Structure 1
Amino acid sequence: MATNLCQSAFALLRRIEPTLVLEQLGSSLFATALQMVVKDRSVNATYPDARLSEEASQQRAMTDFYMTYDLLVRLVPILPALLLARLGDRGWRRAPIAVPLCGYVLLSLALLLVVVLRLPLQVMYAGAVVFGLSGGYGAYWSGVMTLAALSSTAAERSKVMMKVELLYGIAGLVGSLASGHLFLLYSSSLGTGTILIAVGALLQLLCLTQATVLLQVKHETPQESEDTSRLLPDSPGEVPAPVERNRVNVVLLVATAVLYVAAVGGAVGIMDAFVLKEPLSWSATQVGYGHAAGCVIFLTSFLGVAVFRRCVGDVALILIGMLSFASGIYFMAFVRTTPMFYLARSLNLFALIPMPTIRSLLSQQVPASSCGTTLTYLQIALKFAGLAYIPAFTKIYQRTLDWFPGFVFTLSSVITVLGMIPISIVSCRLRQKQEYTRIQVV
């Protein structure tokens, strides 16, 4: 019995799930720590503009930091992520996962040094560059999703990818709930937040060790790659789609993803500063709970996929998710109390459905041999979009802070609605292709 349990535990440790859990636990602790450290370091920020109040100056300092930090995190990894994706498609499937995890560890250590040694907050810019050179989140998440895509059939791919998102969300929920309380643990010699950051760094180090030493990756044969590159699985009544890329659908899907990520990324990026100002003025514990509320959306989105996919297709799932986010983020523009914040987040129940479903559709438009590279190209497109929407949302928020701080959330809702147009065109094209295929078969 004990031997069987040990074998089962070892087999589990060789799967991708422990990697996801450890990484997200560490990242959720890091996110809360960074948000509170930025807030503390921005208290005494001053600007030449005498019209700015103390709170407005703090908000401007925070959003300026996040604007530069986010741009570095998104843009520096572009070339490294592409190189790692090509390595992955040539058989080194572990590389796009393990190398970025090194960057995660170094980024956590950079924040720890900022707090312990009282270094300037701008040191985190150097940490962001190092993190980017390791491939960053784009390389890591593309590597994880590629493994998930290649281990499933086309028919089940959306469900498998949402399971990955579900596990990621559960880990984030647990980590976020604990993060606020861990931040308050105080070390008289090192200061508030050091325990939280140290625990997060340790989790990232454990994750790196598991991904490097234990993670098992199935090596594909050419025959398997050819078999899994079809749009639809082999089953009675179904006709395999050709292996060639459907370039028009790829462009439309990328356009949908760019618009949606611009809306989500711009709004969520501002939300970190929005909840720390009056009238919300959240503490570290409330920040952790707020992150946990965002992680709950992973669970509800997974349940949404499980329920809705029985009666609707992938395109309809994407539209449901986009509508969910558009309504919730519009309501967020008028939030004035913490209960109202959670009510607005509750409208975002299915907001995480679109991106994994878009990736699923995108992976079905290309051969399996270029799946990893295609998904990484998508991540690169999203990063270039960040070059536009991150500064735009930041400056709009700063200029509307006095008269309507929630204006950026309204703008985000409008962009989401615009993103529904290209995916609707994809729906029409897929329907026409299915009808044409049926006519050929008859």
Structure 2
Amino acid sequence: MLSSVLPVVVVQQLASALYDTALQIVVKERYSSATDPGLNASVAANSSPRDVSNFFMTFSLINQLVPIIPSVFLAKVGDRGWRKVPIVSAFVGYLLVRLTLLLVIVLRWPLEVVWAGGALYGLCGGFCSYWAGVMTLASLGSTAEERSRRLMSVELLYGVGGLAGSLMSGHLYYVFSASIGPGSLLVIISMALFLLCLFYCIFLLKVPEVSSEDGEEERSGLISVSDSDSPTPDVINIVLLFAGAIVFDVAGGATEILLSFEIVEPLNWDATQVGYGHGSWYAVFLTSFLGVMLMSRCLSDVSLIIIGMLSFASGIYFMAFVTETYMFYLARSLTLFSLIPTPTIRSMLSKQVNGSSYGIVLASLQLSFQVASLAYTPAYTKIYQATLSWSPGFVFTLSSIICVLGIIPISIVGCRSPRRRDYQSIPED
């Protein structure tokens, strides 16, 4: 356990949750203080939702665009035997982007400096390299039969770290605010935790070895076997799985608008409420994990994916009508199983290829998400800004419709998959 990738996942997300709350509230306070001082307090607090959403749109686009080429290079390096390189490189980037936010807070630099940190983060591979690297190590350390539960366990630990960090972040935000600036303590703790992760990955993290028996199991799953020695992946199923994952990711892209939606009217949350809101999202990791553990005994991977998609579609649809804090949590409660689809799809894809190709396949999927975000991030942002006056949650309704469409390719995979036969044929007389 001490040398596995699981502790990294917990500590990394704990650090990320602290940073996310700090960034969100720093952006809100900077744009609120930049409004016309002649406006009254209520108008000033809500006069810049477009500025806030534009900032997060640009920051997200930088984080998604810049890592595209570096993540492919790092994935190839990982598949050549250097499995830890994508993760180590990503942690260097995490440290750099958090350093820029700390300088913005302490030295009162322009907020746009954070975009430069995002570019450095992307050049180091970004989340694409980090998460593909983690999923690769988790896949290598599991058999084909247990892989869905294994990857969902990683998602669970990711959620546990995020939940703990989110619940603490709102209370820690204003500590030492008078001396070094609000949010600085959160960023310092976040950097210290990332530095700990970096040293752990370099000196303690071990790469699982794939046995010959596991190698045979990795060839099982949705594979068309022409002969026992040279199995051939079902390309159509792979394409359908990629399509379903990308459409689901596009639908989930609307949750980026929550960064703006939470801190302007009608919610207008403070740091503590933002932390709790993030915590409610990370709690879904726990419910999704329990859902996989309970339902995987009697349902196929395809059925689990469809249930998760329907859970997300219903929750994000209800989010469109949220005007009070309690309604936000009611909407979040409907997304209990919304994190099941993506790790389950990763599991199904990993069964298509040999262990030596896990890195490039999983990185390609993550890279597909990055490319898709280049389109949906500005699209959702502009739709949100255009409908802000009459329906701030309209983008969530659109997201729900797209999510339902993502069920189509996954259902086709289910129809094409061979069914297990639990009976024996009776020989003729």
Shift of 1:147: 0.8
Shift of 1:220: 4.4
User: What residue number does 2:267 align with?
Assistant: 280
Shift of 1:225: 7.2
User: What residue number does 1:36 align with?
Assistant: 25
Shift of 1:293: 0.2
Shift of 1:188: 2.5
2:140 and 2:208 in contact (8 A); partners too: no
The 1:184/1:243 distance shift into structure 2, 3 A limit, reads farther
User: What residue number does 2:160 align with?
Assistant: 170
Does residue 408 of structure 2 align to residue 421 of structure 1? yes
User: What residue number does 1:5 align with?
Assistant: none
Partner Cα distance (1:37, 1:242) in 2: 56
| Correspondence list, 1:192-203, <5 A | 192-203=182-193
User: What residue number does 2:279 align with?
Assistant: 292
2:17 and 2:162 in contact (8 A); partners too: yes
Amino acid at match of 2:23: L
Partner Cα distance (2:213, 2:109) in 1: 52
Task: Please give the per-residue CA displacement for 1:255-299, whole angstroms capped at 9, x wherever unaligned.
Answer: 11111111112x211011111122211110000000000000000
* Sequence identity percentage: 53
Amino acid at match of 2:85: A
Partner Cα distance (2:85, 2:234) in 1: 28
User: What residue number does 2:240 align with?
Assistant: 252
Amino acid at match of 1:162: M
Amino acid at match of 1:128: G
Instruction: Tell me the SS of whatever aligns to 2:173.
Output: helix
1:149 and 1:161 in contact (8 A); partners too: yes
| Correspondence list, 1:11-410, <5 A | 12-44=1-33, 54=44, 57-220=47-210, 223=212, 226-232=215-221, 243-265=231-253, 267-410=254-397
The 1:391/1:241 distance shift into structure 2, 3 A limit, reads farther
Amino acid at match of 2:326: P
Q: Runs of 5+ in structure 1 lacking a partner?
A: 1-11, 48-52, 234-238
The 1:98/1:72 distance shift into structure 2, 3 A limit, reads same
Partner Cα distance (1:232, 1:63) in 2: 43
Partner Cα distance (1:339, 1:411) in 2: 22
1:44 and 1:58 in contact (8 A); partners too: no
Q: Runs of 5+ in structure 2 lacking a partner?
A: 37-42
Instruction: Tell me the SS of whatever aligns to 1:329.
Output: helix
Amino acid at match of 1:182: L
Shift of 1:214: 1.1
Shift of 1:242: 6.0
The 1:241/1:351 distance shift into structure 2, 3 A limit, reads farther
Partner Cα distance (2:122, 2:233) in 1: 30
1:148 and 1:160 in contact (8 A); partners too: yes
Partner Cα distance (1:242, 1:169) in 2: 39
Shift of 1:189: 2.6
2:32 and 2:46 in contact (8 A); partners too: no
Shift of 1:87: 1.2
1:110 and 1:127 in contact (8 A); partners too: yes
2:281 and 2:332 in contact (8 A); partners too: yes
Partner Cα distance (1:95, 1:430) in 2: 35
1:91 and 1:219 in contact (8 A); partners too: no
Shift of 1:151: 1.1
1:225 and 1:369 in contact (8 A); partners too: no
Amino acid at match of 1:211: C
User: Please, what TM-score do these two structures have when normalized by structure 1?
Assistant: 0.90
2:46 and 2:265 in contact (8 A); partners too: no
Task: Please give the per-residue CA displacement for 1:302-327, whole angstroms capped at 9, x wherever unaligned.
Answer: 00001111111000000000000000
Shift of 1:155: 1.0
The 1:402/1:17 distance shift into structure 2, 3 A limit, reads same
User: Please, what TM-score do these two structures have when normalized by structure 2?
Assistant: 0.92
Task: Please give the per-residue CA displacement for 1:372-430, whole angstroms capped at 9, x wherever unaligned.
Answer: 10111111111110011000000000000000111000000000001011101111111
Partner Cα distance (1:192, 1:56) in 2: 20
Task: Please give the per-residue CA displacement for 1:48-92, whole angstroms capped at 9, x wherever unaligned.
Answer: xxxxx7566411001101111101101111111111111111111
Partner Cα distance (1:382, 1:247) in 2: 19
2:221 and 2:348 in contact (8 A); partners too: no
* Matched residues, number: 414
Partner Cα distance (2:215, 2:176) in 1: 56
| Alignment root-mean-square deviation, CA | 2.1
1:32 and 1:287 in contact (8 A); partners too: yes
Task: Please give the per-residue CA displacement for 1:169-193, whole angstroms capped at 9, x wherever unaligned.
Answer: 1111111000101102134331111
Partner Cα distance (1:44, 1:205) in 2: 33
Shift of 1:240: 7.5
Partner Cα distance (2:344, 2:375) in 1: 24
User: What residue number does 1:50 align with?
Assistant: none
Instruction: Tell me the SS of whatever aligns to 1:127.
Output: helix
Instruction: Tell me the SS of whatever aligns to 1:312.
Output: coil
Shift of 1:329: 0.5
The 1:243/1:89 distance shift into structure 2, 3 A limit, reads farther
